Structure formats: structure tokens, C-alpha cells
Chains A and B, each alone.
Chain A
């Protein structure tokens, strides 16, 4: 970007500049809405910004699996066990 005619080392963040990082995933977070207490901790802690909150929706959160790397932080911070990590490609 070069506002003011200067060549600057800045850019705007956009989705997926490194490709579909969801293919890196070994463990997959699986959401169970029946256990969810809508605390938003998973949304807050997700380092990849792939968890969206759906206010008033049947499923309170949704996970963008195209970019989720499967780090498991959401599952780890969930106070009720509503997000479980399961192996990819497993039974």
C-alpha cells in the first residue's frame, strides 16, 4: 500500500491469503448445541477467527472448516464440553 506516495509495509487483512488452511487439520472440533451455554469463550479465544456467533440461531456458533486448523483451543476453553475434538478421517 502506498498512501501519501510512500511505499509502506502495510496491508489489509483478508480471508485465506495463505490458502485453505483447513487442510492442515488433524483433529476436528465438533459442536453440540445441546450443551452450549452461549458464553462466547470459543469465539473470543479462536486464534484464527473462524468461529462465528449466530444470535438467536438454533446452533449458537458455526465453525468455518475451510480455515480451522484444528488447534483445539475452543474445545479447551469450553466450560461445558460442547466442543469435542475428533480425529479427521476417523470413524
Chain B
């Protein structure tokens, strides 16, 4: 292992190289572009034995990567924002076909107006598709989780594609020291590729033909759901295996910070969880026992883990960097629904901050949490479940 200063994008590119990806199909879009630029460079200088397919759109990028993966090799692509939305039809297609594939998403808001900064609207727009979806906090996690995602997606209990998300610019273009594992270590971690079927000449298979019976079709949907539930166990196992090789583990679907004695919980995902940790430290200095739950995997949703921590909480504040307009933040909706379904009656509030890429500091988070906690301590509840927070 060697520690190398890497941007989030380069960490993703190194991970794809170390996973011995054989086909990369990509179309450039800011701020994802330097991932595939780096991969193109690896291929060009002979460091990586892979084909780079240049395509005319993101829809084709995922279609080409999917075609290669159907043919039996590890395939990779990366995109962002409007590119991901343009891919959306293929996103569902790959999950429905049950073809393991890894895609890195540099999360960026969606226009109009034209805007390149980070929020989670693009990633969260994919959450019903059947992909495994995770969000990284820092560049080390980008590298670790991209490598691990190949193992998770190719596990016979799962056989679904997976996305690794990282925040635009906050991670994608920011350099951090990253512990880069050696090729032998990654080779010992990743088994040869496994997938449910391989498309090859001389052994014809039809994929996606009109169903003879719609019961079969509905069973396919149910099987995707059940396989995502199965994936929870696989994600946990893979986290432990990686820990044994590298000394790094994150706790599976969620990662907790100062949760053990916490009264009030902050929930979030992505890079600003780092700021949430800082905010929790500051609030604890004021005597408010705050814990942070980082949602690492949003699909499958960490229902059991959250219930474990939140059942006896005094309050829960969910920070979303995206909103399901006309309802509430996507992460909040999942948290609130699963608490309610389990009969847990805890005051829950949604803070929408950083939507469209507005900068959010740890002071902002501490400020929003402090006000919310004060209300709950005084009245035992939140008078409003949703707050649009624009800063102090």
C-alpha cells in the first residue's frame, strides 16, 4: 500500500483500474470528466488492459457498458446530473436484466438554471430502479467502496448493478491523501467475475422478451427487491473482508459517530457528514448530546440499523440535499416511513440545506440543529416537519 494524494475522481479511476475493469464506455460531463480522462490515460499508457468505447451520449455509455457486462466482463462508466438523467431508461434496464455493473456518480444538481454544484437530486432520482446506491463521505471511501461494489454486485445473492456517489467538487476535485492498495491485495479480494448469465455466440439467450405470464414479470420485480434485502448482509460481509485486508471498515450500511449516549440524532449522507461530525462536537461542548448517523447505502435502505439507534431518541433531524418536490426530502421520507411502520413515535424533522449546491458549513448545521433541539426540549415536538435552511 502507498498513500497518494488523489482527488475523488482519481480515486474512482484508480479503483476501476485495480478492479481490472475490461470495458469503459463514457461520455464526458462536468464534474465527472476527469474520472474517464484518467482511465483513458491508464489505457493509453498500457497501465490498464481495457477497451475505451467513446459514445455519442450517456444513454449509449450505459448501454455499451451493459452490453460488455452482459458479455461477461467487468464494465464501468461514470456520469453526473443531466447525463445520469439521460441514462435513466438504461439504469432501469440494467437492473431489470440483473447484470452486475459499477457506475460512479459525481452528484450534481439538475437544471434549469444551469448549475454544476453538488446536491443529491441526480442520485436520488435513481433510487427506485433496483440499483445498489451508496454515497461516500471522503476520497478514501470513494476508492474503497468502488472496489467493494464489484464484489457486492457480483455476489450470487445480489446480481444487481451498483452506484457509488461522491459530491461534485467537494470530493471530485479536492485532493486528499488516499491509501492505495496494491494490485495483489485487490486481486486476492475480488474473485473472478460472476454473473447470472453470459451472452455469447453459439449459445443464444433472449433477454427481456415479452412475458408469457405477467405473474412472472411481477415475480422479477419482487426478486429485485428481495435481492436488495439480501445485499444488506453481503455489504456487511464485504465491509469486514476489506477490513481484514486493509484495516479500514465503515460499519456496513451506516456509520455512526458519537451515537452511544446520544439524545438527538442528525442523519445525512455524503461529504457534509464530515461537517456534521464537527457540528456534533460543538453541540456536545454546549452539553447537547448529539449523534450523527451517516447513511452510506441508501439502497438497500438501512431500516434495521436506523431503528436500532432511533427507537429511544428524543429527536431525529434528517438533512437532505435534494427534495421530492411536493412531498419532502428523499432521505427524510424513507426515515420517517420506516420509523412509523415500526411503530416508533419520535419527533422527526427534515432540514433541506445545500439544495442546488448552496454551501453549508458545520456552523450552519450546528445552528439548525441547536434551534431544532431547543424546540423539541421545550415543547416535545417539532411544530413544522420541514425547514428550508438558507444559512445563518
Contacts and interface: CB of A to CB of B under 8 A. Distances in A.
A89 interface: no
Contacts of A90: none
Interface range, B side: 20 to 34
Nearest to A3: B196
Interface in A1-31: 1, 3-13
A12 B205 contact: yes
B196 A6 contact: yes
Nearest to A18: B210
Contacts of A3: 196-197
Interface in B29-65: none
Contacts of A13: 204-206
B340 interface: no
A67 to B, nearest CB: 16
Contact of A7 (B197, B205, B208, B220): B220
Contacts of B227: 6
A90 B285 CA distance: 95
B196 A9 contact: no
A9 B197 CA distance: 11
Interface string B116-144: 00000000000000000000000000000
Interface in B176-233: 196-197, 204-209, 211, 216-217, 219-220, 222-223, 227
Nearest to B199: A10
A1 B159 CA distance: 15
B216 A7 contact: yes
Contacts of B159: 4, 6
A5 B159 CA distance: 11
Contacts of A8: 98, 196-197, 220
Contacts of B274: none
Contact of A11 (B96, B156, B206, B219): B206
B68 to A, nearest CB: 17
17 contacts: A1-B197, A3-B197, A4-B156, A4-B196, A5-B156, A6-B98, A6-B159, A7-B220, A7-B223, A8-B197, A9-B97, A9-B98, A9-B207, A9-B211, A10-B205, A10-B207, A13-B204
